[in-house]
Amino acid sequence: MLNVRNWAAVLGMALAMLALNAAAEERPEVADKVVAYDGEQGVKVWTLRIGARSENQALVQLEDVDHDWNLRIQKMAVEKTAKDTRYSTTVDGQKYVVLIVQDGWGELYLPGEAKPIQVGYSPALSSQGNAQAFLTDYLKAQ
């Protein structure tokens, strides 16, 4: 026979499972793979498409850069042209292009910095990226 305590435990477990399932359903769609770039002085740039492809958005994280944006994951707009791909955000109320990539090479522009940082696609870094962990880190920071 189940007593009140056992019923409470069963009900609690059921509610917890429902909550976990609901939380899992709220996770936005992301690409299967993280695309990473490395650059001058050990700078790393991690990118991950978030949402449907048609939404043209990505999560971008900078690592090992001497800037306020170090390790901060930001959602950015992605604009693909015939020439390049541009990742932008809003800085001081204005559109600010942070990363321009063309043929695996690019330039990272940081607010307050005089010149861009050169970066290149890194298959080794990209293979270390975990898309779902990256999304989890972003959602936790929100």
β partners of residue 85: 80, 101
Is residue 87 in some structural domain? Answer: yes
CATH of the domain at 124: 2.40.128
- Tens-place pLDDT, residues 31-54: 999 999 999 989 999 999 999 999
Task: Render pLDDT for 50-109 as a digit per residue (tens, 0 to 9).
Answer: 999 999 999 999 999 999 999 999 999 999 999 999 999 999 999 999 999 999 999 999
pTM (predicted TM-score): 0.81
What is the predicted pLDDT for the residue at 14?
A: 56
- Answer yes or no: is pLDDT of 12 > 80: no
Q: Is residue 25 part of a domain?
A: no
Which tops the pLDDT comparison, 127 or 24? 127
Q: Specify if 131 maps to a domain.
A: yes
Our count of domains for the chain comes to 1
Is 136 contained in some domain? yes
pLDDT digits (tens, 9 = 90+) for 125-134: 999 999 999 9
Query: What share of the chain has pLDDT > 70, as a percent?
Result: 82
Q: Is residue 8 part of a domain?
A: no
Tell me, yes or no, whether 101 lies in a domain: yes
72 lies in some domain = yes
Residue 41: phi and psi, rounded to 5, are: 55, 30
* Residue 79 structural domain: 35-141
Residue 107 forms part of a structural domain: yes
Cβ–Cβ under 8 Å, residues 23 and 32:
no
